[in-house]
Amino acid sequence: MKTTGVVTGIISNLVTIAFEGHVAENEICYVDLNGVKLMAEVIKVTGKNAFAQVFESTRGLKQGDRVEFDGHMLEITLGPGLLSSSYDGLQNNLATMEDIFLKRGEYTAPLDSSKEWDFTPIAAVGDKVSAASWLGEVKEGWLPHKIMVPFSFKGSYTVAKVAAAGKYRIDDTIAVLKDAKGEEVPVTMVQKWPVKVAVGGYKEKPRPYRIMETGVRTIDTLNPIAEGGTGFIPGPFGCGKTVLQHAIAKQCDADVIVMAACGERANEVVEIFKEFPELIDPNTGRKLMERTTIICNTSNMPVAAREASVYTAMTICEYYRAMGLKVLLLADSTSRWAQALREMSNRMEELPGADAFPVDLSSIISNFYSRAGIVTLNNGKTGSVTFIGTVSPAGGNLKEPVTESTKKAARCFYALAQGRADSKRYPAVDPLDSYSKYLEYPEIAECLNNLICPGWVDMVLKAKNLVRRGKEMAEQINILGDDGVPITYHETFWKSELVDFVILQQDAFDEIDSRTSLERQKFMLSLVLEFCDKTYDFETFEECSAYFKNLINSFRQMNFSEWQSEKFNSYLTQIRNILSDGNN
């Protein structure tokens, strides 16, 4: 029998419930509002009182309204059909809503139970299987979607029956498993899993180290992110966070993209829905949306309920990771998630931390980021979830609590600078404030040196140092004037500008420059460093400036030319001539 209770207090979407029976934290309940059931999640239990956050407006709710607890945590449905879909944070399919205006208490099925899928068996009768073992697969678009033993199954099972190849609906039984007691358990193509519990089904084994290639030079060259790694992009409004996320999603070598639009509904979420479905996958020429799932906050979901979106998105990522796929999760913007945590904490009158955020904000963010990673599955295959979030600090203040807490959890820090954005140096990732802690890992350094070329990490560190020295020289030139410093100061400054214009800046809207392969990045950085290693003998700073401006222009034209094409080689010849002619 389900536990029931009554509403005793209401503060916006926080409801206090007096109950009789057993209630657990994170359990789902439904509040009865004149026959309309509103979904809520228990976030705190004290004695016989439960505090629940309602995922919809509580307007009209009153003391004494009945509440029924469901006996399970907030969970989502996993199965074929997740890709190309748009959901809210509770996994309601937005495409099947009755109207363009969302109604309270309207919850839709996330997957189409009437669609037939071409099933191909993988397991055979008599095979020993366990949670997350592959039983078969269907084609979801062009991706192989594995049908797995439900993650909730404990222990070992024997395959008693498996469906023959053919067309089946998601609710059809595709396999029958026999447990240790000899009892038969039917398995369909769908399963449910609580969003705040990480999906398992993998071995505890030393993980392999690989690099996630994004095609964005300022990331891949200077601050690479490991496959299964974590990073975040903080920056003020208008610095290009969304464009950079779109570029990464379009160009990276991931199999599946999951977008968590947990930001401001008036800008971040609208841009995701309007622009992202129009992006073309350069690898296939098809819509990028065909291998993408979008999770967003909707207009009728209270601000304080935004956290559901990021957990739903991460669980979907972990599901595809268990299939041996490379998954990229992009969240825009996790600042709104943190604000939701702050609102609920304040309403429950908890002790506030910095800027009134919860005291345990760092722990919550770290626990979430820790769910990313590359894993070895039970069958020896590998799968990964790489997570890159954005943070929108008020006024661009990178010292505020959400940014500081995220820096402790994420391994890569891509700080967008207002100054670079104002000077149209895109992507506006500050090369000095940004970093990748993966460069400090001996395993990653070895991987990069083997993947790109021996000594690659040393080349990257040299380029970073050039940019740092160039900024120091620029400050001296601005203070003392062009004639007030030695010519060598101008030379060092322009060498850093060469690295900036050729390597760091990139046109996300140009068909060729938008994506740069690792092979091309290696070639361009090596060529740039040849000029930076050269000693010059300029007589005036005007001569130095003219020389490097001409050089930068030729390099920029190369960036817009197809790799190793006739046009590319003609500019390369010009640059080689400049290199051999000295200062001329």
Distances (CA, A) of 473 to 345, 470, 540, 548, 568: 48, 5, 16, 16, 32
Cα 49 to Cα 65: distance, rounded to the nearest angstrom: 15
pLDDT of residue 268: 62
Of residues 466, 494, 513, 472, the one with CA closest to residue 552: 494
pLDDT of residue 266: 57
Cα 487 to Cα 490: distance, rounded to the nearest angstrom: 5
**Mean pLDDT, 10 residues at a time, over the chain (584 residues)?**
94 94 95 94 95 92 96 96 93 84 85 97 97 96 95 95 97 96 96 93 72 96 96 90 90 94 69 78 85 84 79 97 96 89 91 93 96 92 94 88 96 95 95 96 93 96 97 96 95 98 95 95 97 94 95 96 96 91 60
Residue 260 located in a structural domain: yes
Give the domain CATH number at 570: 1.10.1140.10
The answer on 61 and 148 residing in a single domain is no
pLDDT of residue 84: 93
Residue 303 located in a structural domain: yes
Domain limits for position 165: 113-189
Helix then strand then coil, in percent of the chain rounded to 5, is: 35, 25, 40
Asked if 295 and 259 count as a contact pair (C-beta separation under 8 A), the reply is yes
pLDDT of residue 298: 72
The answer on 235 and 335 residing in a single domain is yes
Q: Which amino acid is at 54?
A: V
Domain boundary among 451, 486, 503: 451
- Residues 502-530: pLDDT tens digits? 999 999 999 999 999 999 999 999 999 99
The answer on 386 and 253 residing in a single domain is yes
CA dihedral of 338, 198, 174, 140, whole degrees rounded to 10: 50
Asked if 338 and 353 count as a contact pair (C-beta separation under 8 A), the reply is no
278-285: which pairs have CB atoms within 8 A and are 24 or more residues apart?
279/246, 279/249, 279/250, 280/250, 281/250, 282/250, 282/251, 282/515, 284/142
pLDDT of residue 582: 58
Residue 562 located in a structural domain: yes
Phi, psi of 189, rounded to the nearest 5 degrees: -80, -10
Looking at the 3D structure of the chain, how many domains does it have?
4
pLDDT of residue 204: 64
The answer on 460 and 427 residing in a single domain is no
Give the domain CATH number at 350: 3.40.50.300
The answer on 233 and 332 residing in a single domain is yes
pLDDT of residue 261: 86
pLDDT of residue 94: 87
Residue 279 located in a structural domain: yes
The answer on 287 and 178 residing in a single domain is no
Residue 547 located in a structural domain: yes
Residue 194 located in a structural domain: no
The answer on 553 and 444 residing in a single domain is no
The answer on 366 and 280 residing in a single domain is yes
pLDDT of residue 407: 96
The answer on 293 and 278 residing in a single domain is yes
In eight-state DSSP terms, residue 101 is: S
Domain boundary among 167, 189, 211: 189
In eight-state DSSP terms, residue 228 is: T
- Residues 452-505: pLDDT tens digits? 999 999 999 999 999 999 999 999 999 999 999 999 999 999 999 999 999 999
pLDDT of residue 333: 85
pLDDT of residue 133: 96
Residue 282 located in a structural domain: yes
Q: Which amino acid is at 584?
A: N
Give the domain CATH number at 150: 2.40.50.100
